[in-house]
A and B are shown apart, each in its own frame.
Chain A
Amino acid sequence: MKKQGRGIATIMFGFGYGEGFPDHSIASAEIEDSGKILIRTAAADVGQGVLTTLTQIAAEVLKVKPGVIRIIPGDTHLTKNSGSTSATRQTFFTGNAVKEASEGLLSNIYHYASIEFISNHAELGIKDGYIFRNDNPNNKLSYWELAKKVAEKGETLKVEASFFPHTDKPDPKTGQGEKVYVAYTFVTQIIEVEVDTDTGIVQVLKVYTTADIGKAVNPKNVEGQIEGGTVQGIGMALMEEQVIKEGITLNSDLTGYLIPTSMDTPRFTTRLVENEDSEGPFGAKGIGEPATIATAPAIANAIYDAVGVRIFDLPITPEKILKALKEKRKNK
């Protein structure tokens, strides 16, 4: 018989390395000859989309189209340390560093342009990579023309910045500290499942996700993170386990180690809670890791709601469900 149930899980995740680790990110913004603005960062894009996020932040601050922004490919010899793509930290850390560098570059554009226009920045306007006096917008200078004039003075339009927030090392005896993590992301998921009581197979039907991420720099990317993270969480909840017996892995391939496929993917409804009340760039917080955390417990709770058995060890395989159902019938 097929029985449906639903479960909820709400989680928090303290992101950034925290714990007093000297976690920081360095980035720079500069006017390039090629008609582009170059952002230097070593932030690794592992598919999550940090390069897109940084492009949007730089474009926003510098008032140019995203296509004008060029981010250098990661290279130890051409970039400075941006810290790791882990701990859900890149949007927050490198996002802030790029925002800061972009703001520095914009300030310098105003500074040098105000010399050219014999004016001050209150009287200057900026649009799509051009700067002009508000009382004569047709007489305008592009960022790149301005950069040439700056270069003639032996100076450059390049600004480096970093983001280096303080955290506290927790007391080793008690784990207590005033600021252990830079910020926390919160996620709630409600998940509907269908459990086949004859086979023990669980189908995840619908996933409702709400995430307090401060501000989504790119809402589609955030949704993508949540959907991907949830599918990875479905794997953890229902099927994934590297079986290691006496030090030997018994299922070291994707025939023996099952991961969810598109056939296991549920219907998603996602809503973002954005109060913009965070120290992140434009109020953003991280989502990379929090995206996967609520899924396994929400599924465990949904299975209990559906068939009244609770499994305490992951993954919740059909075998475990059938065994628990059998015991439940015996105890009746």
Chain B
Amino acid sequence: MKKMPKRYVGRNILKVDAQEKVTGKAIYPDDIYFDDMLYLKIKRATHPHAYLRRIDINKAQKVPGVVKVITAADIPEVRNFGLIIKDQPVLIGIGQKMRYMGDALAIIIAENKEAASQAVNLIEVEVEELEIISDPLRAMEKDAPLIHKDSNILATHYLEKGDIKKGFAQADVVVENEYKTSFLDQVPLQVEAGVGIYDEESEVIKLWAATQWLHDTQADIAQSLGFPKEKIRIIQPVIGGAFGKKEDISVHIHLALAAMETKRPVKLTYTREESMIAQSKRHPLIIRMKTGVTKKGYLTACQVEVIGDTGAYASSGLAVVHKGMYHCTGPYNVDNVKGVAYTVYTNNTYCGAMRGFGATQMAFAYESHMDILAQQLGFDPVQFRMQNAYGIGSSTPNRQILTRSVGVKETIKEAAYLAGWKGER
């Protein structure tokens, strides 16, 4: 059925913020200035896995221009934060553990950036080093030291549809491979940055710092500081890209603490290096995939094991790794599916959300696999995909029956046509 044409929906109207952005008028967080503004710098962990035994801020505090250095000792009441579980400390205190190189040890507040940068290098730290667990397979071993209180395996998710044994028994060809993906940075052009002000009269902390979810970031800051939600006001500046990286708390709580401490406007802007080391990554996944197919080219079984290195803190990891597993067959009919997905803590930079959320990594596995299977069977890759692709009534690995809007076959047909897949290029 052809729908009525619309006046504005389906039209290429100019982006509403295009003019502001191309003329340089858009205000990104680092463009915000106040008179009397102070600058922050964060002292980061000195070892990926170690107890903090001593922190000496004396020399840092004596740097001309330094107003204050905040350590965990100053904020005993502040609680951990985190997107799904609250496992990430705001500042690491004496006797507590640093778990990756991005952990914060102290907040330096200074009249200018130079003083803050100089002071951060003068903070002296003594640590008791622990085994660094950089490999998720090592983290899963029974004798591996625990990174948090409980198991290094943060979560195990399962998938079971049909009868996997029967599925492989029906197969004429079975292909099994291991695929690996890498740590990726989302690389938004704009690094983490923000400005904070504490209004003494209303006791409201005002923050101009990007977030992909205003009210969730507000809630996480509020619970961490022990404030009512309405005491935390976030005003969204223009956001210079996110791709998942701006779901997690970054500058927000540190800005709030410094603003309350000094009663002056404060600004914190990460360096690119800091952004890469301290903020979330795309999960590197190890995907072991075994797929069965009949001689006639129909998929009968798909079995996957997924190991996701979620780094030092949970972030979105509890949702990412198994979402990858749930997409293990791609858009193809497979009656028998079995899977297990492990989300594993290590001492690497923590992993969280990035465009595709586990499903991106999984597609590398299942679509490589589809070509390998097609080749072994002597099928054309387009034909092989077409005959296995979903239609209305198909069921996903979660056994969700697709009842509407299943245009996958049309996309394959159209793409093959556009590229001139059959015949001469």
Per the bound structure, the CA–CA distance linking A282 and B330 in Å amounts to 26
In the assembled complex, A140 has its CB within 8 A of some CB on chain B:
no
Per the bound structure, the CA–CA distance linking A314 and B183 in Å amounts to 10
Partner of A257 from the list B181, B276, B372 (CB cut-off 8 Å) is B276
In the assembled complex, B397 has its CB within 8 A of some CB on chain A:
yes
Q: Are A174 and B213 in contact (CB under 8 A)?
A: no
In the assembled complex, A175 has its CB within 8 A of some CB on chain B:
yes
Q: Residue on A with the closest CB to B157?
A: A175
In the assembled complex, A35 has its CB within 8 A of some CB on chain B:
no
Q: Are A189 and B158 in contact (CB under 8 A)?
A: no
The digit string for B1-32, where 1 denotes a CB below 8 A from any CB of A, is 00100111111111111000000000000000
Q: Are A47 and B240 in contact (CB under 8 A)?
A: yes
Per the bound structure, the CA–CA distance linking A256 and B294 in Å amounts to 46
Residues from chain B with Cβ under 8 Å of A75 in the complex: 214, 233-236
Q: Are B327 and A14 in contact (CB under 8 A)?
A: yes
Partner of A300 from the list B183, B282, B368 (CB cut-off 8 Å) is B368
Residues from chain B with Cβ under 8 Å of A3 in the complex: none
In the assembled complex, A126 has its CB within 8 A of some CB on chain B:
no
A116-124, A146-154, A244-252 - interface stretch: A244-252
How many chain B residues touch A (CB < 8 A): the figure is 118
Given that A188-B411, A220-B12, A249-B349 are known contacts, is A296 also in contact with B360, CB under 8 Å in the complex?
yes
User: 8 Å CB contacts to B: which residues of A151-172?
Assistant: 170, 172
Residues from chain A with Cβ under 8 Å of B339 in the complex: 175
Residues from chain A with Cβ under 8 Å of B368 in the complex: 297, 300-301, 310, 312
In the assembled complex, A28 has its CB within 8 A of some CB on chain B:
no
Residues from chain A with Cβ under 8 Å of B349 in the complex: 242, 244, 249
Partner of A45 from the list B239, B272, B408 (CB cut-off 8 Å) is B239
Tell me the minimal C-beta distance from B57 to chain A in angstroms.
24
Tell me the minimal C-beta distance from B156 to chain A in angstroms.
9
Per the bound structure, the CA–CA distance linking A247 and B130 in Å amounts to 12
Tell me the minimal C-beta distance from B288 to chain A in angstroms.
11
In the assembled complex, A306 has its CB within 8 A of some CB on chain B:
no
Partner of A71 from the list B16, B134, B218 (CB cut-off 8 Å) is B16
Residues from chain A with Cβ under 8 Å of B319 in the complex: 17, 19
Q: Are A76 and B132 in contact (CB under 8 A)?
A: no
In the assembled complex, B49 has its CB within 8 A of some CB on chain A:
yes
Q: Are B276 and A44 in contact (CB under 8 A)?
A: no
Residues from chain A with Cβ under 8 Å of B215 in the complex: 42, 76, 80-82
Q: Are A248 and B15 in contact (CB under 8 A)?
A: no
Per the bound structure, the CA–CA distance linking A206 and B147 in Å amounts to 46
Q: Are B277 and A249 in contact (CB under 8 A)?
A: yes
Q: Are B9 and A314 in contact (CB under 8 A)?
A: no
Interface centre among B179, B322, B402 (most CB of A within 10 A): B179
Given that A76-B233, A83-B213, A278-B405 are known contacts, is A301 also in contact with B13, CB under 8 Å in the complex?
no
User: 8 Å CB contacts to A: which residues of B172-230?
Assistant: 177-185, 187-188, 210-216, 218, 229-230
In the assembled complex, B34 has its CB within 8 A of some CB on chain A:
no
Tell me the minimal C-beta distance from B37 to chain A in angstroms.
21
In the assembled complex, A215 has its CB within 8 A of some CB on chain B:
yes
Residues from chain B with Cβ under 8 Å of A60 in the complex: 6-9
Partner of A293 from the list B229, B363, B402, B419 (CB cut-off 8 Å) is B363
Residues from chain A with Cβ under 8 Å of B396 in the complex: 12, 14, 180, 184
Per the bound structure, the CA–CA distance linking A296 and B371 in Å amounts to 13
Partner of B235 from the list A74, A84, A235, A254 (CB cut-off 8 Å) is A74
User: 8 Å CB contacts to A: which residues of B318-349?
Assistant: 319, 322-323, 325-327, 330-331, 339, 346-349
Q: Are B236 and A209 in contact (CB under 8 A)?
A: no
Tell me the minimal C-beta distance from B190 to chain A in angstroms.
9
In the assembled complex, B100 has its CB within 8 A of some CB on chain A:
yes
Q: Residue on B with the closest CB to A221?
A: B15
B64-72, B109-117, B120-128, B241-249 - interface stretch: B241-249
In the assembled complex, A111 has its CB within 8 A of some CB on chain B:
no
User: 8 Å CB contacts to A: which residues of B338-374?
Assistant: 339, 346-349, 353, 355-357, 359-360, 363-364, 366-368, 371-372
Interface centre among A6, A12, A183, A278 (most CB of B within 10 A): A12
Q: Are B416 and A190 in contact (CB under 8 A)?
A: yes
Tell me the minimal C-beta distance from B11 to chain A in angstroms.
7
Given that A179-B400, A245-B134, A289-B359 are known contacts, is A42 also in contact with B367, CB under 8 Å in the complex?
no
Residues from chain B with Cβ under 8 Å of A201 in the complex: none
Q: Are A236 and B360 in contact (CB under 8 A)?
A: yes
Residues from chain B with Cβ under 8 Å of A44 in the complex: 210-214, 236, 239, 242
Q: Are B212 and A218 in contact (CB under 8 A)?
A: no
Residues from chain B with Cβ under 8 Å of A19 in the complex: 319
Q: Are A11 and B16 in contact (CB under 8 A)?
A: no
In the assembled complex, A217 has its CB within 8 A of some CB on chain B:
yes
Q: Are B134 and A246 in contact (CB under 8 A)?
A: yes
Tell me the minimal C-beta distance from B261 to chain A in angstroms.
22
Per the bound structure, the CA–CA distance linking A276 and B177 in Å amounts to 38
In the assembled complex, B137 has its CB within 8 A of some CB on chain A:
no
Given that A14-B327, A46-B212, A273-B407 are known contacts, is A283 also in contact with B246, CB under 8 Å in the complex?
no
The digit string for B361-401, where 1 denotes a CB below 8 A from any CB of A, is 00110111001100000000110010001100000111111
- What are 27 A-B pairs at a CB distance below 8 A? A8-B421, A10-B330, A11-B363, A14-B396, A46-B210, A52-B14, A75-B234, A76-B232, A81-B214, A174-B160, A175-B326, A177-B400, A181-B400, A184-B406, A188-B412, A189-B415, A208-B419, A210-B412, A210-B415, A218-B13, A221-B12, A236-B282, A246-B134, A247-B346, A271-B415, A300-B367, A312-B368
Shortest beta-carbon contacts, A-B, top 5: A247-B48, A212-B407, A74-B236, A297-B367, A84-B213
19 A-B pairs besides A9-B367, A289-B360 with CB distance below 8 A are A8-B385, A12-B408, A60-B6, A75-B234, A81-B214, A173-B158, A175-B339, A177-B400, A178-B400, A184-B405, A184-B406, A214-B405, A216-B10, A219-B12, A242-B183, A247-B48, A283-B3, A290-B356, A312-B368
Which residues of A are interface residues toward B (Cβ below 8 A)?
6-14, 17, 19, 42, 44-47, 49, 51-52, 55-57, 59-60, 63, 66, 71, 73-77, 79-87, 170, 172-181, 183-184, 186-190, 192, 206, 208-212, 214-221, 229, 232-233, 235-236, 240-249, 252-254, 257, 259, 269, 271, 273, 275-279, 281-283, 285, 288-294, 296-298, 300-301, 304, 310, 312-315
Which residues of B are interface residues toward A (Cβ below 8 A)?
3, 6-17, 47-49, 100-101, 132, 134, 157-161, 177-185, 187-188, 210-216, 218, 229-230, 232-236, 239-244, 246-247, 272-273, 276-277, 281-282, 319, 322-323, 325-327, 330-331, 339, 346-349, 353, 355-357, 359-360, 363-364, 366-368, 371-372, 381-382, 385, 389-390, 396-402, 404-408, 410-412, 414-416, 418-419, 421, 425
